[in-house]
């Protein structure tokens, strides 16, 4: 059944993550953004609470929670900093691919240290010449005995250069999705190098680099599943990743709304507090309503993914599109309500706006989300 209220366990999980965000993340978020600091130590503290492997099975140290629980957690963490929450969500997505598609030996080799975040994981799909057209990727892995020899480049990789494991989609066969396989590549493998840390509009508290493969030799034993199922693995991971990033947008937008409410109680204009002007009250009401509608949608999609419903992929795409669009718009409206002060970094609003903007692009652009939804609708009408 679709959930419209949280049970006691879900409330406890959400509140635990929210308290961690308020205590350990929010006080440092502006400095981390300014200094481009990647707070690995704080993320490892979060992992001690079970956040490093939210929906990983418990025999390898995971929390064995649901996608619904994960949505609550990542939204709560994002109230402290969307960038940090988003990286932890990507780490969880990459780790889940090993949990879901790896052999027992692979799971026990890597997942205990991934769940503790002693090892950090990144997801490598996008390339300089293939972003939305992911099935056109060109990074090639050629079999050579017990190894694959990798050549190619991945682009816009979160955590690159700081990560320990990279879940990489490579071409082992013919053109198209059927020729793609998935390899787990260790970050210190000879032949693996990294581009510069990109200068970005937002998401400055996590590094973004190219990952470059030049005759890098990776054991065949590091392949997840059989050859040719890599595109399926990538897309399955993205269903959950889209829910996660939408949840991060909700958390950032909620923080921006909360800051606006506090600011408007204090700020006066024309002899009245800002929250006494009806036009601004209506704007607040619309922001809160849109945010609640998006939250309900994300919960519905997460619950569908947990149940493995036939329409889960479509709902995840819908929720990602709607949740990230609403999150950015609410944050942008919050900046407007702050007036000139919203444009100053010390108030924290402009950082949220910058961070949330990229959520409409990554994990599949919102244009691609519309394409997924429209295709599913058309197929269903035949």
| Catalytic residue list | 363
Which H, E and C letters describe the chain, residue by residue? CCCCCCCHHHHHHHHHHHHHHHHHHHHHHHHHHHHCCCCHHHHHHHHCCCHHHCCCCHHHCCCCCCHHHHHHHHHHHHCCCHHHHHHHHHHHHHHHHHHHHCCHHHHHHHHHHHHCCCCCEEEECCECCECCCHHHCCCEEEEECCEEEEEEEEEEEECCCCCCEEEEEEECCCCCHHHEEEEEEECCCCCEEECCCCCCCCCCCCCEEEEEEEEEEEEHHHECCCCCCHHHHHHHHHHHHHHHHHHHHHHHHHHHHHHHHHHHHHCEECCEEHHHCHHHHHHHHHHHHHHHHHHHHHHHHHHHHHHCCCCHHHHHHHHHHHHHHHHHHHHHHHHHHCHHHHHCHHHCHHHHHHHHHHHHCCCCCHHHHHHHHHHHHHHHHC
Q: What is the per-residue burial (b if ≥16 Cβ within 10 Å, else e) of 115-125?
A: bebebbbbbbb
Nearest to 252 by CA among 50, 14, 75: 75
């Amino acid at each position: 059944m679709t959930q419209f209220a949280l049970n006691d366990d879900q409330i406890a999980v959400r509140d635990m993550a929210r308290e961690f965000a308020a205590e350990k993340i929010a006080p440092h978020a502006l400095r981390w953004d300014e200094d481009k600091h990647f707070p690995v130590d704080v993320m490892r503290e979060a992992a001690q609470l079970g956040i490093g492997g939210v929906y990983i099975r418990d025999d390898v140290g995971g929390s064995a929670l649901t996608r619904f629980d994960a949505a609550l957690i990542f939204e709560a963490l994002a109230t402290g900093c969307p960038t940090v929450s988003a990286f932890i969500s990507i780490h969880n997505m990459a780790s889940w691919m090993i949990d879901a598609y790896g052999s027992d030996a692979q799971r026990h080799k890597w997942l205990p240290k991934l769940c503790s975040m002693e090892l950090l994981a990144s997801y490598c799909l996008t390339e300089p010449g293939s972003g939305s057209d992911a099935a056109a990727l060109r990074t090639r892995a050629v079999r050579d005995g017990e190894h694959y020899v990798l050549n190619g480049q991945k682009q816009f990789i979160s955590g690159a250069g700081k990560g320990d494991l990279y879940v990489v989609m490579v071409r082992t066969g013919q053109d198209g999705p059927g020729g793609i396989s998935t390899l787990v590549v260790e970050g210190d493998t000879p032949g693996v190098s990294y581009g510069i840390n990109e200068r970005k509009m937002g998401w400055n508290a996590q590094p973004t680099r190219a990952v470059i493969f030049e005759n890098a030799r990776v054991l065949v034993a590091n392949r997840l599943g059989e050859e040719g199922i890599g595109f399926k693995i990538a897309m399955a991971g993205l269903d959950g990743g889209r829910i996660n990033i939408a949840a991060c947008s909700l958390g950032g937008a909620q923080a921006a709304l909360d800051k606006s409410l506090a600011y408007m109680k204090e700020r006066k204009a024309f002899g009245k507090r800002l929250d006494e002007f009806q036009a601004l009250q209506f704007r607040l009401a619309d922001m809160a309503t849109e945010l609640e509608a998006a939250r309900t949608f994300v919960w519905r999609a997460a619950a569908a993914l947990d149940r493995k419903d036939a329409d889960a992929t479509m709902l995840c795409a819908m929720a990602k599109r709607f949740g990230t669009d609403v999150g950015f718009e609410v944050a942008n409206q919050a900046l407007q309500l702050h007036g000139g002060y919203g444009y100053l970094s010390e108030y924290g609003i402009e950082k949220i706006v910058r961070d949330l903007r990229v959520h409409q692009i990554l994990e599949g652009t919102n244009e691609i989300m519309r394409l997924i939804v429209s295709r599913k609708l058309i197929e269903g009408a035949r």
